[in-house]
A and B are shown apart, each in its own frame.
Chain A
Amino acid sequence: MEAVPITMPLDRKTIKELTAGTPVLISGTIYTARDAAHKRLVEALKNREGLPFVLKGQTIYYTGPSPARPGRIIGSAGPTTSGRMDIYTPRLLAAGMKAMIGKGGRSREVREALQKYRAIYFIATGGAGALLAQSIKKAEVVAYDDLGPEAIRMLTVDNFPAIVADDIYGNDLFEQGKARYRKEKG
Chain B
Amino acid sequence: MRLITPKIREIKAKDIADTVAQLCQRANLGLDEDVLTALKQAQQREESPLGKEILHQLVENARIAEDKNLPLCQDCGSAVIFLEVGQDAHVVGGELEAVVGEGVRQGYTQGYLRKSMVSQPFSERKNTGDNTPPIIHTEIVPGDHIRIVCLPKGAGSENMSRLAMLRPGDGREGIIDFVVRAVDEAGASPCPPLIIGLGIGATSEGAMLLAKKALLRPIGQPNPDPEIAALENELLSRINDLGIGPMGVGGSTTALAVHAEARPTHIACLPVAINFQCHCSRHKEARL
Contact = CB atoms under 8 A, between A and B. Distances in A.
Nearest to B251: A181
B138 interface: no
B156 A129 contact: no
A129 B60 CA distance: 11
Contacts of A134: 64
A105 B248 contact: yes
Contacts of A176: 250
A90 interface: no
Contacts of B60: 128, 131
Interface stretch (A40-48, A51-59, A68-76, A93-101): A68-76
B71 A149 contact: no
Contact of A76 (B72, B243, B250): B72
Contact of B76 (A66, A128, A147, A182): A66
A127 B73 contact: yes
Interface stretch (A9-17, A77-85, A112-120): A77-85
B244 A65 contact: no
Contact of A178 (B49, B54, B69, B243): B243
B71 A66 contact: yes
B80 interface: no
A133 B188 CA distance: 21
Chain A interface extent, by class: 35 or more
Interface string B109-132: 000111110000000010101000
Contacts of A150: 127
Contacts of A23: 50, 53
A156 interface: no
Given A66-B113, A81-B189, A163-B50, A177 B250 contact: yes
A183 B57 contact: no
A69 B159 CA distance: 29
A163 B244 CA distance: 16
B136 interface: no
A173 B249 contact: yes
Contact of B243 (A67, A130, A177): A177
A128 B112 CA distance: 17
Contact of A64 (B50, B114, B243): B114
Interface string B232-265: 0000001001111101111110000000000000
B71 A75 contact: yes
Interface string B171-194: 000000000100010011101000
Interface in A1-27: 1, 21, 23
Nearest to B193: A127
B48 interface: yes
Contact of A180 (B54, B114, B242, B243): B243
A50 interface: no
Contact of A131 (B64, B113, B115, B189): B64
Interface string A101-112: 001110000000
Which residue, B72, B180, B245, B249, has most C-beta atoms of chain A within 10 A? B249
23 contacts: A66-B113, A75-B112, A76-B71, A76-B73, A80-B75, A81-B156, A103-B189, A103-B247, A104-B248, A125-B57, A126-B191, A127-B61, A127-B73, A127-B279, A131-B64, A148-B129, A173-B250, A177-B249, A177-B250, A180-B250, A181-B250, A184-B241, A186-B242
Interface of A: 1, 21, 23, 36, 63-69, 75-78, 80-81, 83, 103-105, 123, 125-131, 133-134, 147-150, 161, 163, 173-174, 176-184, 186
